Structure 1
Amino acid sequence: MTYTITGATGHLGTLVMANMLKLVVPNELRAAVHTPSKAQSLVDKGVDVVAIDYLQPDKLAQALQGTDTLVYIPSKTYSVLDRVTELENILAAMKQAAVSHIIAVSFFADQEDNPFTMSAFYGYLPRRLASSGFKYAILKNSLYADPLIPYLPELIQRQNLIYPVGDQALSFISYADSAEAIAKLATQPTLNQDGQSYLLSQTQNYTMPTLGALMTEATGHKIGYAPVTNAEFAEIYAAEGDGQELASMYRAGEMGLLAQTSTAFETITGHEPQDMAAFLKTNYHA
């Protein structure tokens, strides 16, 4: 059995590879990356590393030769067209390379009325896979908890969370827990070949006052909740290049569309995910 993991040197992909190495031997793994020089540590472990370019389907097909299961971790982009093109090239390459099985990593903002910039792609993905003829399963991550950690100094200074979601709750999962579930699912055929869809989340979602209280406990600094408007949020983070996109995501949160939780993580791994209180205390260092 050969598993190929795309994005294997990214934040999530690095952790997926680490978890896969606990479950299979290195010569059953292939890391498909844009910059092979960043994957030397995987080469040192005996993992095959191949270069891929999502815009070159023929080269992509060459990289996938001999693959039994592809774990597709999409690239980070806020262009729906680019992401759809990437997916279509992946599927074309799979067909050319005779790969029969794909585990696709997605996001839970896939509702028909979801205003998040990338929602159209997340709605497209399951329908496209259903019509593809491949064996597949989909893992939908909730919001990543990890970006909260570098955000904490700003929140301490503000003394408040400012997400424009009103009284609605948000659901989270950590990179580490997501990666564990992805690796475990990839190696369990009974759970991953019949179009199954799994939502990865902590067991509880959090309103902003509750999340602020957990942050207060973890940091020792009072963090309350004083939401700005959606337009203000977009303007505050415009200089970082994704203000409008993040604002569209939190608009979905304000509509109650980012609050879902699930027990799928436990189904896949056999244990519960780390909760938010433990995550913050473990990862925050003053």
Structure 2
Amino acid sequence: MKYLITGATGNLGEKVTRWLRTMTSENNIRVGIHNLKKANKFDDLAVEKVKLDYFDLDTLQKAVSGVDLVVYIPSLTYDLQKRITEFENVLQVVKNAKAKLIFVSFFADQENNPFVMSPFYAYVPRRLASSNVEYSIVKNSLYADPLVPYLEELIKRKNIIYPVGTQPLSFITRNDSAHAIACLAMQPVMRDQGQTYLLSMDKNYNMVELSYIMSRITDHKIGYAPVTTTEFAKIYAQEGDGKELASMYAGGAKGLLSATSDDFHRLTGREPEEVEHFLRNGYQIARL
């Protein structure tokens, strides 16, 4: 069985690769790399490294050739049309290679979700269902990982400012997401038939709960004082994705980022790491 992981040098892709190599021979793993200058991330592994460009069908076809299962991790872009074209290119070469597909998705795909990328996440499952490709879908909840470096800013602000009101948010760590994806790749009985899995922690957290946890971890008082989505977009405009993130949290304010499931346990046989444990360890490591 030969596996291809796209976006392998990204935060999630590298973790998927390293989990997968604990379950199968490194010789069975091919990593698709957009920028080969980053290939040294895998110098300690015997995995096969190949150039992969979502918009170059020749390199994409070569990357997928001889592969049995593609773990497709979409690129980080808020350009909706570009993301759809990227997916269509992947689907085309997967079909040509008669390979199977795991689509790594996000749970903000509801028809009334104002998140700018919601149309993409809603489009792909319907497109796959009519494609005659054997596939499965993994929907991640919000990554908990960005909360760790965010703690220092929250200490200064003295408040969480997410514009979600009373609605809770659901999280998963990238490490846990990667573990579940690797487990799914290794279990044919759990994939290839259009199954959909939601990866989340056991419970969600409203912002009062989350602020209390953060206060306890940091020994600083952190409350909850939400700003408007417009204000949020302005605050983070310089980082390049303020407007997009604001649209995501607008979905959160509708209760659309709160879903949880036990799918992580079903795929891995263990419990997901919870927010307080994850943040406490990350905060302590960051302060070393």
In structure 2, the partner of 1:28 is 28
TM-score, normalising length from structure 1?
A: 0.98
Amino acid at match of 1:137: S
Could you tell me how far 1:42 is from its partner in structure 2?
A: 2.1
Query: What is the rounded CA distance, in whole Å, between the counterparts of 1:29 and 1:145 in structure 2?
Result: 27
Report deviation, 1:45: 1.6
Structure 2 distance, partners of 1:17, 1:164, is 35
Between 1:229-238 and 1:43-52, the stretch displaced more is 43-52
Alpha-carbon distance in 1 for matches of 2:16, 2:98: 20
Q: Distance in 1 between matches of 2:98 and 2:160?
A: 45
1:124 matched residue in structure 2: 123
Q: In 2, Cα distance between the equivalents of 1:271 and 1:92?
A: 35
CA contact (8 A) 2:160 2:226 kept: yes
Aligned to 1:67: 67
CA distance in 1, matches of 2:269, 2:7: 26
Q: Measure the CA separation in 1 of the matches of 2:16 and 2:196.
A: 18
Contact 2:9 2:41 in 1 (8 A): no
Partner amino acid for 1:136?
Answer: Y
SS in 1 for 2:258: coil
- Paired residues, what number? 285
Q: Is the 1:32–1:49 contact (alpha carbons within 8 Å) kept by the matching residues of 2?
A: yes
Partner of 1:55: 55
Structure 2's unaligned 5+ residue stretches are none
Q: Which amino acid aligns with 2:106?
A: F
Distance in 1 (CA, whole Å) between partners of 2:269 and 2:54 is 34
Shift of 1:36: 2.1
CA distance in 1 between partners of 2:241 and 2:233 (Å): 8
Q: Report the counterpart of residue 150 of structure 1 in structure 2.
A: 149
Q: 1:70 to 1:213 in 2, by over 3 A?
A: same
CA distance in 2, matches of 1:282, 1:90: 37
Bigger shift: residues 238-247 or 52-61: 52-61
User: How large is the RMSD of aligned CA atoms in angstroms?
Assistant: 0.9
- What displacement does 1:41 show? 4.1
**Structure 2 length normalisation: TM-score?**
0.97
**Rounded Cα–Cα distance in structure 1 between residues aligned with 2:223 and 2:101:** 43
Distance 2:136 2:172 in 1: 19
Q: How does 1:214-225 map to 2 (within 5 A)?
A: 214-225=213-224
Query: Do 1:64 and 1:99's aligned partners in 2 also have CA atoms closer than 8 Å?
Result: no
Q: Is the 8 A contact 1:102 1:136 kept in 2?
A: yes
Letter in 2 for 1:182: I
- What is the rounded CA distance, in whole Å, between the counterparts of 1:167 and 1:247 in structure 2? 16
Instruction: Please name the residue that 2:250 is paired with.
Output: 251
Identify unmatched segments of 5+ residues in structure 1: none
